[in-house]
Amino acid sequence: MKILFVYPQYPDTFWSFKHALKLVSKKAAFPPLGLLTVAAMLPADWEKRLVDLNVTPLIDADIRWADYVFVSAMVVQKESAKEVFERCRKLGAKVVAGGPLFTTGHDEFEGVDHFVLGEAEATLAPFLKDLAEGRAKHIYTSGERPDISQTPVPLWSLLKMKNYTSMSLQYSRGCPFDCEFCDIVVLNGHMPRTKTRAQVTAELDAIYEAGWRGSVFVVDDNFIGNKKKLKQETLPAIIEWMREKGQPFGFFTEASINLADDEELMDLMVEAGFSKVFVGIETPVAESLAECNKMQNKGRDLVASVKRIQNHCLEVMGGFIVGFDSDPLSIFKSQINFIQKSGIVTAMVGLLHAPRGTRLYQRLKGENRIVNSFTGDNMDCALNFLPKMDRETLINGYQQILHTIYSPKQFYERIKIFLKEYRPPKRSAPIHVHAYHIRGALRTIWTLGFQDKGRWYWWRLIFAGLLKYPRSLPMSVGLAIYGFHFRKVAEKYIKTHARAPEHAA
């Protein structure tokens, strides 16, 4: 059997890092971890190829070669996935689709022979069995939350690692919280399920043996869902592995704000090589936090919590939302002030959206407020529901946030605020310098130091970094590169302000 794995293209969004990638001579930020894991679940004697459309184009010869084309995607990749299906249909290729996009919205797609939905550990084996017996069904689904302690190591041999800025590893699935707008609990449940110590080190070994040295994204939606196991088993295992291998990786992940309450956990994460953590802040408005059931954020000084994490050698990347029913007209100024004061340099501010399957979607549907399908991009101004606030007021206020926080003055000022709080670890991982690093450094200096409209702020940051924060200079340069990308994306969204449909779907 010949299997072609296809990963659809990301549009130019906050998380695509398209403009930053050009500076560092890379083609994509992260590899398609789900497809690589599914590949490892298929029979070893099957022939397998991978085409990541974010890295290389899909040619007709690849499609004709395959007996089946396997596609996995997230919601934001919807349009690219549809194009892949259409090409497969024209060439007579059979298509198998799975992953988050199809698990919650498979009814929106045509030209797919088989949907293998939910978690592959529960639905892939029945599909493969039926396929072998010549009676494969159209849809395979399961409400099971499978034990992931048997999930195999991803098939990294399918990937050209040099095209990516980071590798990926999944340690756990599920989140103990129940935020109304979040579809993570729909996809993966509330009870965090984790891999074993042996699995984690085996995955690290595989990435290491494939030749990777650099950044590794632990993709868990809430890495600290099971704190006890992390502190007693997983992080000590990573610390030992990193020590034995000479600190080859640097890690970053996602976590809830209650990380700030656990000094032991933060210290262990830093010792293991973690340097960044994405935290869902959402909003400084207490009523809006209560509305969306973000109770882990409510009743605490969020700025102080952020600074506590920064003080423990971890950069905080933050997610923010506007558009809650409880948001006052002052929300736009409040979000700007919070972001600047907290020193969260990488601040992803999005409009509230209601993904299918979430409690928010069900509530708004019951109120006849759903007007469109979710695009997967919460920055594109294409609201999929009727907000309580006047729509134009909401869109204009949102765009004012983007215009302000990503303008060179405010962005570079935030880097300085962050550096005042950030405490770099006493021991840092060795820097592995490659030719693309040198090319990237020269391209960055030329673009940010001479061509960009924020070049004077760039040079002031560089000189201040050399004088005051020399150990944090590489991080400062990296943040400036991200800022260049964010500014380009924000400018695009502001220029292409789209009006949402006025009718209810």
Q: Give the model confidence (pLDDT) of 361-377 as tens digits.
A: 999 999 999 998 888 88
Extended beta strands in 244-398, E state: 249-255, 274-282, 315-322, 347-351
Helix residue ranges, H only, 469-501: 473-495
Residue 70 DSSP one-character state: E
- Distance separating alpha carbons of residues 414 and 480, to the nearest angstrom: 11
Please give the structure tokens belonging to residue 176. Answer: 């103990």
Q: Give CA–CA dist 472/46, Å, rounded.
A: 47
Superfamily of domain 165-353: Aldolase class I (3.20.20.70)
pLDDT in tens, 66-104: 999 999 999 999 999 999 999 999 999 999 999 999 999
Residue 440 pairs with which residues in a beta bridge?
Answer: none
Q: Is 110 exposed, middle or buried (0-12, 13-18, 19+ CB in 10 A)?
A: exposed
The reported pLDDT for the residue numbered 373 is 87
Q: In what order do the strands lie in the sheet with 68-72?
A: 47-52, 2-7, 68-72, 94-98, 114-116, 139-140
How many other β-carbons are positioned within 10 Å of the β-carbon of residue 109? 17
* Cβ atoms < 10 Å from Cβ of 492: 14
Neighbours of 6 (CB within 10 A): 28
Name 78's Cβ contacts closer than 8 Å, sequence gap at least 6: 101, 108, 375, 376
463 contact partners, CB below 8 Å, separation of at least 6: none
User: How far apart, in whole angstroms, are the C-alpha atoms of residue 500 and residue 297?
Assistant: 30
pLDDT at site 45: 97
Task: Assess contact for 401 and 381: CB atoms under 8 A.
Answer: no
- Let me know if the fold of 2-140 is the same as that of 165-353: no
25 vs 3: CA distance, rounded Å:
30
**Structural contact between residues 383 and 391, judged by C-beta atoms closer than 8 angstroms:** yes
Quick check: 211 and 161 in contact, CB under 8 A? yes
Q: Which residues of 357-388 are buried (b: 16+ CB within 10 A; e: fewer)?
A: ebbbbeebeeeebbbbbbbbbbbbbbbbbebe
The two tokens of residue 337 are 């002030």
Give the CA radius of gyration of the chain: 22
**Quick one: pLDDT at residue 72?**
98
d(CA 174, CA 186) in angstroms, rounded, equals 9
Residue 230 Cα distances to 66, 169, 205, 295, angstroms: 41, 15, 19, 23
Please give the pLDDT value at position 418. 96
The answer to whether the CB of 353 falls within 8 A of the CB of 372 is: no
List the chain pLDDT tens, one digit each, 505 residues.
Answer: 999 999 999 998 888 899 999 999 899 999 999 999 999 999 999 999 999 999 999 999 999 999 999 999 999 999 999 999 999 999 999 999 999 999 999 999 999 999 999 999 999 999 999 999 999 999 999 989 999 999 999 999 999 999 999 999 999 999 999 999 999 999 999 999 999 999 999 999 999 999 999 999 999 999 999 999 999 999 999 999 999 999 999 999 999 999 999 999 999 999 999 999 999 999 999 999 999 999 999 999 999 999 999 999 999 999 999 999 999 999 999 999 999 999 999 999 999 999 999 999 999 999 999 998 888 888 888 899 999 999 999 999 999 999 999 999 999 999 999 999 998 887 655 566 667 668 888 899 999 999 999 999 999 999 988 989 998 998 999 999 999 999 998 888 888 764 434 433 3
CB atoms within 10 A of CB 495: 8
| Cα 409 to Cα 412: distance, rounded to the nearest angstrom | 6
Strands 193-194 and 172-173: antiparallel
Q: Which residues contact 40 (CB under 8 A, 6 or more apart)?
A: 152, 153, 154, 155
- pLDDT attached to residue 492: 86
Domain 2-140: which CATH class?
Answer: alpha beta
First vs last C-alpha separation in the chain: 42
Residue among 462, 479, 464 at smallest CA distance from 406: 479
How far apart are alpha carbons 181 and 364 in whole angstroms?
11
Q: What is the pLDDT of residue 284?
A: 97
Q: DSSP alpha helices (H): ranges in 152-295?
A: 184-188, 197-209, 227-229, 235-245, 263-272, 286-291
Domain ranges of the chain: 2-140, 165-353
Question: In three state form, how does the secondary structure of 332-345 look?
Answer: HHHHHHHHHHHCCC
Q: Model-level pTM?
A: 0.94
Residue 307 belongs to what H/E stretch? Answer: helix 302-311
Do residues 36 and 167 lie in contact, with contact meaning Cβ atoms separated by under 8 Å? no
Scan for tokens 């924000």, then name that residue: 490
pLDDT at 497: 64
Encoded amino acid at 222, one letter: N
| Token duo for residue 487 | 């500014």
